[in-house]
Amino acid sequence: MRKTIVAALLCVNLVLLGLLLLLSSPQAVQAQGFGGVDYIMVPGKIRDSVHAVYILDVNSQALVAIYVDKTSKDLTLIAKRNVKGDFQ
């Protein structure tokens, strides 16, 4: 009799666990931002075989142009400009 009760309780627990796993929905997650930092990146061509990326930091209003040096495989700064006065 005792073995029957233990077996029945075990079956009930397994059914309840299965229902819990089946019916529980995953929690929605949101990606965390970078604290209000806004960047605009635009690709552009400098010469025939050299491409650059222009990066505008909207908060500090700075424009940076960089390219990848294929020999050293490093990012190389072309120029940096403060564009605060350009937006007024």
pLDDT digits (tens, 9 = 90+) for 37-57: 789 999 998 888 888 999 999
Q: Sign of dihedral through CA atoms 40, 62, 68, 31?
A: negative
pLDDT digits (tens, 9 = 90+) for 49-80: 888 999 999 888 899 999 988 888 899 999 99
- Structural domain including 57 reads 2-25+36-87
30 within some domain: no
Q: Looking at residue 68, what is its pLDDT?
A: 87
Total domain count, the chain: 1
58 within some domain: yes
Residue 36 has pLDDT above 70, yes or no: no
56 within some domain: yes
Q: Looking at residue 34, what is its pLDDT?
A: 62
Read off φ and ψ for residue 64, nearest 5 degrees: -125, 140
DSSP at 84: T
Residue type, 44: G
pLDDT digits (tens, 9 = 90+) for 4-21: 998 999 999 999 998 888
21 within some domain: yes
Cα–Cα distance for residue pair 49/69, rounded to 1 Å: 11
Residue type, 32: Q
CA-atom Rg of the chain in angstroms: 30
